[in-house]
Amino acid sequence: MSMAQAILPGFVVLLCTLSGCTTTSGGVALRPDGTPGPQECSEEAKKAMRYMRLRVGDGALVELDANQIKSKPITLYDGPLESMLKNDLGILETTTRLYGQVWTGGPQVVIRYYEAHPPDSEKVPICAVARLSENQLRKRPDSLPGTAILDFSVAGVDIVDAFR
């Protein structure tokens, strides 16, 4: 191994540390408050959403955690998440599973969805986010680090063309 190959990984870590950036295992840069930074949707997801006629702003309701349906409160953890549609989202029918990532570092939970798995069909790439108005994805003050306790198990899910 050359000297450059040995030094490069350390240089990248040092540069990231000095600039204040942090990245998650999926390569998403984190802001100083622990929330994920901007991220583009993959071309594959954009193509799949066009094919399914899903447009930016199309929305539905989702059970945030398929393992805590109708629970109050619910606890979400940093990392992967499986959610379930409560009603149709375009051609994605009720009970379609949405797979994504949860970040609990900031004052509100951030959930980004990257895949949909309709019943009796193959998984398809998508770009969507969980949303609720009036700060209802704000985690409760008794949430421990790496977790978010929410008062509701249901949120809105909206199609996006990029994560901001």
pLDDT digits over 105-126, tens only?
998 999 999 999 999 999 999 9
Q: What is the structure's pLDDT at 26?
A: 60
Same domain, 19 and 41: no
Same domain, 18 and 64: no
Q: What is the structure's pLDDT at 15?
A: 32
Backbone phi and psi for residue 102, each to the nearest 5 degrees, phi listed first: -115, 140
Task: Look at the chain and report how many structural domains it folds into.
Answer: 2
Average pLDDT of span 77-91: 97
Same domain, 115 and 51: yes
Same domain, 16 and 46: no
Mean model confidence pLDDT for the chain = 86
Q: What is the structure's pLDDT at 19?
A: 37
Whole-structure pTM value? 0.82
Same domain, 23 and 92: no
Nearest to 112 by CA among 129, 126, 96: 129
Residue carrying the six token digits 């984190």: 30
Q: Tokens in use for 94?
A: 């009720």
pLDDT digits over 4-47, tens only?
333 333 333 333 333 344 545 467 999 998 899 999 999 999 99
Q: What is the structure's pLDDT at 76?
A: 97
Instruction: Round to whole Å and give the CA distance between 22 and 78.
Output: 15
Tell me which of 24 and 163 has the higher pLDDT. Answer: 163
Instruction: Round to whole Å and give the CA distance between 162 and 85.
Output: 21
Residue 13: its H or E element = helix 3-19
Domain residues for the domain of 3 are 1-30
Same domain, 17 and 65: no
Q: Which CATH number belongs to the domain containing residue 44 in this structure?
A: 2.40.128.260
Q: How many CB atoms lie within 10 A of CB 139?
A: 21
Q: Tokens in use for 79?
A: 């990392």
Confidence of residue 134 (pLDDT cuts 50, 70, 90): confident
Backbone phi and psi for residue 130, each to the nearest 5 degrees, phi listed first: -85, 140
Backbone phi and psi for residue 15, each to the nearest 5 degrees, phi listed first: -60, -45
Same domain, 75 and 126: yes
Same domain, 20 and 58: no
pLDDT digits over 60-75, tens only?
999 999 999 989 999 9
Instruction: Round to whole Å and give the CA distance between 62 and 64.
Output: 6
